[in-house]
Amino acid sequence: MSADSAASHDAWIAKLGIPFTLVADPERVAISAYGVDRDVEYEGKTYKSIARTTFLIDPNGAIERVWEKVKPAGHAEEVLEALRTSAG
């Protein structure tokens, strides 16, 4: 999920051939509800940002696990392993 528009997500999906839906939240409703909205300072200015976080949500909508300060390298494998463990 990101604060980018659905149109920008559609372009990204087309460009990279992504085989799944990307969730757009330009109004930052879900982003704020999950508590990942952040203010970041850069060169004396404050910008809105999103903390890179992964939530594992069970079929009933309950949050099973949270990964904060996610680094992309190797993270997908870590999440897949958690899915295997929780499903098994």
Burial class (CB in 10 A: 0-12, 13-18, 19+), 31: buried
10-50, pLDDT tens digit by residue? Answer: 999 999 999 999 999 999 999 999 999 999 999 999 999 99
CA 23-29-32 angle, to 5 degrees, is: 105
Sign of torsion over alpha carbons 4, 47, 55, 73? positive
Share of the chain above pLDDT 70, in %: 98
> What is the predicted pLDDT for the residue at 73?
93
When pLDDT is cut at 50, 70 and 90, the band that residue 85 belongs to is confident
